[in-house]
Amino acid sequence: MFYGFWNPPYLLLLLISIVVNYFFSRCISKYCRLRLITITVGLLFNLGLLFYFKYSFFFAENLQNLAGIELGLTSLVLPLGISFFTFQQIAYLLDCYHRKFKSCSFRNYMLFVSFFPQLIAGPIVHHGEMMPQLSIFNRERWAKDVAEGMTLFVFGLFKKVVIADSLMKYVGGPFGIVASGVDVNIITAWVAVMAYTFQIYYDFSGYSDMALGLARMFGVHLPLNFNAPYKATSITDFWRRWHITLSHFLRDYIYVPLGGSRQGRLRLIMNLLITMLIGGLWHGANWTFLWWGLAHGLFLTINHLWVKIFEERRRIRFPKLVKTFYWGVTFFSVMLGWVLFRSESVSAAVGMYSTLFAFDGLVLPLVWQDLFVVTESIRFVGESDWAASIFLVVILFFTLMSPNCRDLFDLDIVLKGKSNTIKWEPTVRWAFFVSCLFLFTLGNMSSVSEFLYFQF
């Protein structure tokens, strides 16, 4: 019902995917001699489905541009959440093939895949995290789960509506102007990039909190998907915190099977690049996503080599200062990577980088004309975004200093760390605070906006 409201015909696609994958899982469990053939056909079915709907037009378009071959394919409407439920079922089939569990009932499998809080945009749930919960209902904890779930949902809604949506006005205009070949000043460009850095985080993190909250109201504890990624002090640490369930999938089902870090540094570099290229392509059928994945593969490679060459051979002096420096480099690298992620094309991304670093000349706000002499390398356009700059600095401090949902709730028994002094409790004070936050959020819902991970 939930999935069918958006596009009823694609509900049939989801059902077909569930039925076929369950059939494959049963065959793998029952018929030992056909396991290899079945898993091969199952993977081809899932990847073929994903390729047809998400990548066929992209490859046909590039084939036409490179070789002049006209395939006559048209762009398709991408089914909601196809990347998420496809990866989820691929992991299920592979674990079934490696005999990590026995195939479950069709009812539980269907609920595992189609559970509506995480169906559209994750998290990518592993069967071992969800299946045991489907047959157990804890009556004693139900009331607390509902209260926690409502709180998580309100926090996620606040992130999306109040923070992420308020940053939209600083992002779309500058990126669109640069893509059209028109200059924006360097201040506006940096504001746009930093605004998008926080917009995508609070948008997707907000959705994940809402998904966790809705699931918890039904007594299901979904895995944590974000753990303060902008507090990371290395790119490796960032990927342990950002989109955690996707990172785990890429690690367990691509990076480790390729050999991981066990076969020398050259193989490590190749495995990292291949894994992150696949991770980039998973996000969308565009060269910008491929380059974004490659950039993060290079970042991870540099990170691994730095640790091996420098940090393991000598003691670090002034650890707090070094840690702050590492955080700055990591945050700056991630922010630059988002330029590729947000841009509509590689040429648009190159245009934005040129503006950010003044490769084609320095473009300054009009109000600065009296401070500089106009030359061929210095131009003036637009106004200064000082108000936006101050707003973004406030959001940066809020992001770094505020406790995250993992600190407030017992969200993930796997992740360990120091607890924050602020803890959620089912008290009148918390109920009053959450109610006020909810009303404040509703008051700021002037228009409906889609999530950035809509139709991934």
Q: Catalytic amino acids?
A: 283
DSSP 3-state of 378: strand
Sign of CA dihedral 319, 320, 321, 323: positive
HSE-CB at 115 with a 13 A cutoff on CA atoms is: 30
Backbone region of residue 188 per phi and psi (left: phi > 0; alpha: psi in -120 to 50; beta: other values): alpha
Q: Which residues contact 123 (CB under 8 A, 6 or more apart)?
A: 208, 211, 222, 223, 224, 225, 244, 245
Q: Which residues contact 93 (CB under 8 A, 6 or more apart)?
A: 21, 24, 25, 28, 39, 42, 43, 46
Contact (Cβ atoms closer than 8 angstroms) between residue 336 and residue 173 = no
* DSSP 8-state secondary structure symbol assigned to residue 409: S
Q: Which residues contact 322 (CB under 8 A, 6 or more apart)?
A: 316
* Orientation angle between helical segments 186-217 and 168-179, nearest 10 degrees: 130
Backbone region of residue 454 per phi and psi (left: phi > 0; alpha: psi in -120 to 50; beta: other values): beta
Amino acid, res. 326: Y
How big is the chain, counted in residues? Answer: 456
Long-range CB pairs of 128-135 (<8 Å, 24+ gap) are 128/95, 128/100, 128/101, 129/222, 129/223, 130/220, 130/222, 131/101, 131/104, 133/219, 133/220, 133/221, 134/108, 134/220, 135/108
Q: Which residue has the tokens 């926090």?
A: 155
Q: Which residues contact 424 (CB under 8 A, 6 or more apart)?
A: 148, 151, 408, 409, 430
Report the distance separating Cα 438 and Cα 424, nearest Å: 16
